Amino acid sequence: MSESSAKKATSGVFARTSSGLVRTVGTFDTFYYCLAMIALPIGFLNLAALVFYPGASYILATVLAIVGSVLMGLTYALFSAIYPRSGAEYVPLSRATHPIVGFVGSFSTVFWLIFYTGVAPAYAASFGWAPLFTVLGLQMGSEGLINLGFWFDSPVGWFVVGTAIILLIALTLYRGMALYFKLQRWLYSIALGGFIVLLIVLALGASGVFDFQASFDGYAGSGAYEGLLAAAAETGAELNPASSGQMTLFFMIWPAFALLFAVWSTSFSGEVKDVTRGQLIAIPTAQIIGGILLILLGVFGLGAIGGEALRAFGWVGMLSPESLPLPIYPWITTLASIMADNILLTIIIQVSALLLMILTAAVDAIYATRGMLAWGIDGLAPSWLGEVSERYHTPKNAILVTAGLAITLLALYSFSGWLTVIAAQVPMGIVLGLMAIAAAIFPYLKRDVFEGSPASFKVAGIPLMTITGVLGAIVMAWVVYRTFVDEVFGANAPASLILMVGAFVVAVIWYFVARAVRSRQGVDLDARFEEIPIE
């Protein structure tokens, strides 16, 4: 940061001199947050969706997604080094471009991450709770356990268990980031250990130690495996397609959906101890390691279950699950548990998936609360949203609002049916693309700020963030376009489009109303946006 910019940051147009947040988050905790935001269970869904992209290479698509995600990760990390404050996209976009761009982008993403805070516990039912009890029921011959699994994956189960999870997340976040990250270290380590156990089980299956076909037929009856493949082929599934580069590029949006969003550790940059290095290390490292884990999942999964079987399960399980010969889900975790036929391994694998999804809800909530905190500090939202607990140094009111809205959205998801077809990668991708463009031109628009910042790295005389920003913008343009036109992904469903446009429209209206209100109160918002927010 240049000397003039540093003076601006402390010139005093803000009503208080400190946000109330404290820098307690280390680089390792930031890295774990990024891994949690990657949401490894999306890899389970990716393998099930592979059949709808005949000839796509799961591995190559994931490699391409890693490259694109790392470009965005570096871009976000460099931008956060220039504006080391909490709020993710909001602060850089509102200061480097125009306040309305920062607010509208932030408002949209906060809305969508509150949505996912609400529905991720319901997703945990499909990825963790239900498979845990249905497979255990099969292995123990207990119809009661199978029915319990079905209850967890029912509207009532989603809402009851999801509400309890959301309230626990809110309580933990209210008690402070130190407590949250302590719990995250333990829970994510357990979850990651279970994921590694899953990889080992799949590797053993790929090497011939376990026989999936024999295990599946042992549960479903002789010939069930071949019958499933035949049924999938008869209804249109291509189980042995020729390789297709085009389909690989189309399929890339699925692993990208997991890997891109590690960048949102920038939501709490104001609480990271070494923000100039921490984000630069944590974000791309998590994206690379997370990508490698997804690749291993694909390699071992295809080897253990077989490409034909994985495609057949994906086809039948996602189009007509009632036709499956067993009451199971088409996820690789469930298939691995059936293959291993071991109660302890089933518990380890399914509890791991459950914890990973619960942690996804928690990291989404952190983003939402820090976004609202930043609005409250700047004056684009009621000032009470910017209040921080003196005891716990957490945005207490933003946490309450996030929890309340998340439970409301969970109720709508559970009982209305309208929100079950929502996918938000298009609006979130648009905001990521805006960040990439803003980062690319920033060194030329605000040269003095850039040259004096920790992000002033150059390659052959060109600012590194310009290079990563341009390339990242190209990647995001492709991801947004392909997601928008992709009929399988679901982001172009009417409900998704209505909420996407609605969030942007509401944000624009909110912005101008807030400016009018603050103007009548004698608050100069333009002066605030000339400064870096208080720390």
Mean pLDDT of 485-490: 79
Whose tokens are 């850039």? That residue is: 450
The DSSP element (H or E) to which 462 belongs, if any, is strand 462-463
Q: Which residue has the tokens 């109303």?
A: 513
Q: How far apart, in whole angstroms, are the C-alpha atoms of residue 219 and residue 330? A: 15
Altogether, the residues listed in the chain come to a count of: 535
- Work out the percent of the chain whose per-residue pLDDT is above 90: 39
* 451, part of any domain: yes
Q: How confident is the model at residue 417 (pLDDT cuts 50, 70, 90)?
A: low
Mean pLDDT of the region 208-222: 90
Q: Is pLDDT at 250 greater than 60 in this prediction? A: yes
Q: What is the pLDDT of residue 21?
A: 56
Q: Which of 1-10, 381-390, 460-469 has the lowest mean pLDDT?
A: 1-10
Residue 534 lies in a domain: no
- Residue 278, Cα to own-chain centre: how many angstroms? 20
pLDDT tens digits for range 274-304: 777 778 888 999 999 999 999 999 999 999 9
DSSP label of 125 = I
Domain-located, residue 372:
yes
Q: How large is the average pLDDT for residues 173-187?
A: 89
Least confident of 164-168, 320-324, 383-387, 405-409: 320-324
pLDDT given for residue 3 in this prediction: 33
Look-up: residue for tokens 């497979």? 135
Domain membership of residue 535 (yes or no) is no
Of 115-129, 327-341, 515-529, minimum mean pLDDT range: 515-529
The pair of structure tokens assigned to 245 is 């580069």
Please check whether residue 200 is in contact with residue 361, taking contact to mean a CB–CB distance below 8 angstroms. Answer: no
Q: Is pLDDT of 157 > 50? A: yes
Domain total for the chain?
Answer: 1
Q: What is the pLDDT of residue 412?
A: 87
Q: Is residue 280 part of a domain?
A: yes
Phi-psi region of 39 (alpha: psi -120 to 50; beta: other; left: phi over 0): left
Q: Give the CATH number, domain containing residue 45.
A: 1.20.1740.10
Whole domain around residue 435: which residue ranges?
Answer: 3-528
Q: What is the pLDDT, as a whole number, of residue 478?
A: 94
* Token duo for residue 501: 């446009």
* Amino acid of residue 40: L
Q: What is the mean pLDDT of the chain?
A: 86
**523 is written with which tokens?**
């608050």
pLDDT top residue among 523 and 102: 102
| Residue 210 pLDDT greater than 90, yes or no | yes
Average pLDDT over residues 435-440: 92
Give the contacts of 507 (CB within 8 A, at least 6 positions apart): 103, 104, 107, 108
Residue 533 lies in a domain: no
Question: What pLDDT score was predicted for residue 85?
Answer: 76
CB 103 within 8 A of CB 147: no
Which pLDDT belongs to residue 23?
63
- What pLDDT, on a 0 to 100 scale, did the predictor assign at position 16? 43
CA distance 302 to 394: 45
Mean pLDDT of the 213-230 span: 89
Least confident among 41-55, 56-70, 244-258: 41-55
Q: Higher confidence at residue 495 or residue 373?
A: 373
* Mean per-residue pLDDT, 186-207: 95
pLDDT above 50 for 14: no
The pLDDT confidence band at residue 419, using thresholds 50, 70 and 90, is low
DSSP assigned state of 393: -
pLDDT at 2: 35
Taking the chain, what is the end-to-end CA distance rounded to the nearest angstrom?
15
Of 368 and 319, more confident? 368
Q: What is the rounded CA–CA span in Å between residue 62 and residue 254?
A: 8
Spatial separation of the C-alpha atoms in residues 329 and 331, rounded to whole Å: 6
Full DSSP string of 474-485: HHHHHHHHHHHH
| Domain presence at residue 478 | yes
The verdict on residue 274 lying in a domain is: yes
Rounded to two decimals, the pTM is: 0.87
- Does the pLDDT of residue 17 top 70, yes or no? no
Confidence of residue 399 (pLDDT cuts 50, 70, 90): very high
Give yes or no for residue 1 having a pLDDT over 70.
Answer: no
The answer, yes or no, to whether residue 10 has pLDDT greater than 50, is no
CA separation for the pair 358, 352 (Å, rounded): 10
> Which distant-in-sequence residues (6+ apart) come within 8 Å of 150 by Cβ?
130, 134, 327
- For 37-58, the pLDDT digits (tens) are 887 888 888 888 889 999 999 9
